[in-house]
């Protein structure tokens, strides 16, 4: 939290460690619009420069833009300054490797070792390199999308889109992309001033204004981004949130119609993705939760599309990272080429309901909880690659410890909301009894 645990000194030391880790190369830096962003950026630049690295400052932009710029500029790494969907008083650093991917577990450990040891590369004043302030990073992002997909095909009427960027980094580029695609744009919450007109996470309960705007303007679709614009949620033409999982399902449907190949998603993503892939004879591979795990899986299996059920779409032909801008372009192309509404497309998918719950549990007790669940549900197929995922006759559930909080997360999916809630309720009750014993 800014002014508490996240201090300029801490930021500078982490930036020094990253500069040491990359070997005094070129580092791309971008930030979201949070009011603390400028302070954080200067502290980071100071640390990076002191380690002998060159800085390319691309200013305020989405996280996926930083990732794309690292690759396009053949940089040695990147630092995205953002706290993503967390509240306004938070900020953080996301470290990006030379391939434009977030650091994997091994690379992150190396960075932490350098940070804790404090043995940073230090250069003299005469060796300190420049800060190059570069414009046009978001324009390059739009160009990459248009080069890959082109503008929307001509239809009887122009698609009308409502965009809610939560006054985040998507405000800078989202409306411009939609216009470049030749959609009619109605933008709300697109003032990148660090204010939060709604909670930043693009989940259904936070999208009331977007739903109202879609209905008011008779729009074909509504899009909602989080603060760093890597996640995308969708509202149908009826003004109803369709659930973050279906962002990836719709995007995958468009991609697989054009190109067959493997699909990769994390363990908690809807089974509707498997159903879509099966239509085209394509395999689905599941990974641990987290973008870095999904991208590792995508590289391993040469996936044509992938992502996470939190609204994260990864289309490697454009950008090898969760990218709400790419997600918008893919879904709009699907609408334009199919001639169907969002609701009509959803009706072609099997009906699933996902329910999510969490409960407090000390990190020391989580391994015992997972062992108990493996024993209790041993008769069913189980995946233990990330917590415990159990496939039951009524659906599936996943129980895992949080990476950042002393809590257990429970996710369940079934063919009806009632069955999904019962799965969650049964597991919650079992875990509660075990923890209390």
Dump pLDDT digits (tens) for 246-263. 999 999 999 999 999 999
Q: Chain-wide mean pLDDT for the chain?
A: 95
* Domains, the chain, with CATH or none: 8-135 (3.40.120.10), 140-347 (3.40.120.10), 353-436 (3.30.310.50)
Q: pTM for the whole thing?
A: 0.96
Q: Is residue 421 within 8 Å of residue 415, measured between CB atoms?
A: no
> Average pLDDT for residues 101-120, to the nearest whole number?
96
Q: Is residue 301 within 8 Å of residue 376, measured between CB atoms?
A: no
Q: What Cα–Cα distance (Å) separates residue 354 from each residue in 327, 378, 425?
A: 21, 23, 13
Convert the pLDDT of each residue in 61-94 to its tens digit.
999 999 999 999 999 999 999 999 888 999 999 9
Convert the pLDDT of each residue in 148-173 to its tens digit.
999 999 877 899 999 999 999 999 99
Report which DSSP code applies to 241: B
Residue 38's pLDDT is 96
> Average pLDDT for residues 343-366, to the nearest whole number?
92
235 pLDDT above the threshold of 90: yes
- Mapped onto helix, strand or coil, the DSSP state of residue 393 is coil
Distance CA 42, CA 294 (A): 32
121 pLDDT above the threshold of 90: yes
Residue 437's pLDDT is 73
Residue 304's pLDDT is 98
Residue 335's pLDDT is 97
Q: Is residue 409 within 8 Å of residue 402, measured between CB atoms?
A: yes
> Average pLDDT for residues 369-388, to the nearest whole number?
96
What is the number of other CB atoms lying within 10 angstroms of the CB of residue 175?
18
Using alpha carbons, select from 369, 338, 356 the residue that is nearest to residue 413.
356
- Catalytic annotation present for 362: no
Residue 154's pLDDT is 84
User: Which of 84, 165, 236, 271 is flagged as catalytic?
Assistant: 84
What is the number of other CB atoms lying within 10 angstroms of the CB of residue 73?
17
């Amino acid at each position: 939290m800014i002014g508490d645990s996240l201090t300029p000194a801490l930021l500078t030391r982490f930036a020094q460690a990253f500069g040491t880790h990359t070997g005094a190369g070129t580092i791309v830096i971008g930030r979201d619009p949070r009011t603390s962003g400028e302070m954080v950026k200067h502290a980071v630049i100071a640390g990076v420069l002191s380690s002998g690295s060159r800085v390319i400052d691309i200013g305020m932009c989405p996280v996926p833009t930083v990732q794309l710029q690292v690759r396009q500029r053949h940089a040695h790494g990147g630092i995205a300054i953002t706290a993503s969907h967390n509240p306004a008083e938070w900020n953080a650093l996301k470290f990006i490797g030379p391939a434009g991917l977030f650091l994997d577990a091994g690379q992150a450990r190396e960075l932490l070792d350098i940070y804790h040891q404090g043995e940073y590369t230090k250069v003299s004043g005469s060796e300190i390199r420049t800060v190059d302030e570069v414009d046009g990073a978001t324009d390059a992002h739009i160009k990459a999308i248009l080069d890959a997909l082109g503008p929307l095909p001509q239809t009887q009427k122009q698609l009308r889109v409502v965009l809610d960027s939560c006054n985040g980094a998507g405000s800078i580029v989202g409306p411009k992309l939609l216009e470049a695609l030749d959609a009619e744009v109605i933008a709300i919450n697109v003032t990148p001033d660090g204010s939060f007109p709604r909670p930043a996470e693009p989940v259904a309960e936070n999208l009331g204004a977007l739903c109202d705007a879609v209905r008011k303007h008779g729009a074909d679709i509504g899009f909602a981004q989080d603060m760093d614009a890597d996640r995308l949620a969708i509202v149908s033409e009826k003004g109803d949130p369709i659930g973050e999982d279906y962002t990836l399902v719709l995007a995958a449907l468009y991609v697989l119609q054009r190109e067959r190949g493997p699909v990769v998603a994390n363990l908690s993503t809807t089974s509707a993705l498997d159903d879509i892939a099966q239509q085209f004879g394509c395999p689905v591979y599941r990974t641990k939760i987290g973008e870095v795990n999904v991208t590792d899986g995508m590289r391993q299996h040469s996936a044509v599309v992938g992502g996470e059920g939190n609204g994260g779409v990864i289309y490697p032909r454009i950008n090898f990272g969760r990218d709400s801008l790419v997600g918008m372009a893919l879904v709009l192309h699907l609408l334009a080429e199919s001639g169907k509404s969002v609701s009509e497309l959803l009706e072609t998918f099997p009906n699933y309901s996902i329910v999510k719950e969490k409960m407090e549990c000390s990190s020391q007790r989580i391994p015992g909880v997972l062992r108990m669940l493996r024993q209790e549900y041993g008769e069913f197929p189980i995946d233990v690659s990330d917590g415990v995922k159990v496939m039951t006759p009524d659906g599936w559930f996943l129980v895992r410890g949080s990476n950042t909080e002393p809590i257990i997360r429970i996710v369940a999916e079934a063919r009806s909301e009632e069955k999904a809630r019962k799965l969650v309720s049964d597991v919650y009750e079992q875990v509660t009894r075990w923890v209390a014993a």
